[in-house]
Amino acid sequence: MPLKPKTHEEDLIFSEEGFRVHVQHSIQKLLNEKGMSHSQLAQKLGISLEKVEEIFSSDCKLTIRRLARVYFVLEADLKIADES
C-alpha cells in the first residue's frame, strides 16, 4: 500500500521531496551522460566538492541561481514544466 499524505502540510512536504528527488536525479543523469564526476562539476562551478555533495543530500537547499548554473555548466536546458 503506497504511503499517502494525510494532511495538507504532509501533502506539501511530499511535493517538495518529490521535486527535490526529481531535480537530483536529473542532474545525476546529466553527469552520467557526460561522464562527469561530482568533483569535476564542482571545479566547473567554482565551488567545493562539499557544496556539490549538498545538492545530492536529503537536506538540499538548492537555489534557483545554483540550479541554473549547474545546468549551464552541463550545457543543458533547464525547463520546469508540468508533465501531466
Query: Which domains are delineated in the chain?
Result: 10-73 (1.10.260.40)
84 neighbors 60 (Cβ within 8 angstroms): no
Residue located via cell numbers 549538498: 54
Within 13 Å of residue 77, how many CA atoms lie on the same side as its CB?
A: 3
pLDDT bin (cut points 50, 70, 90) of residue 83 is low
* Residue 60 phi, psi dihedral angles, 5° rounding: -60, 130
Closest CA to 39 of 53, 54, 23: 53
The span from the CA of 1 to the CA of 4, in Å, is 9
Q: Using one digit for the tens of pLDDT, what is the confidence trace for 18-72?
A: 999 999 999 999 999 999 999 999 999 999 999 999 999 999 988 999 999 999 9
pLDDT bin (cut points 50, 70, 90) of residue 84 is low
pLDDT greater than 70 at residue 74: yes
What global pTM score does this model have? 0.84
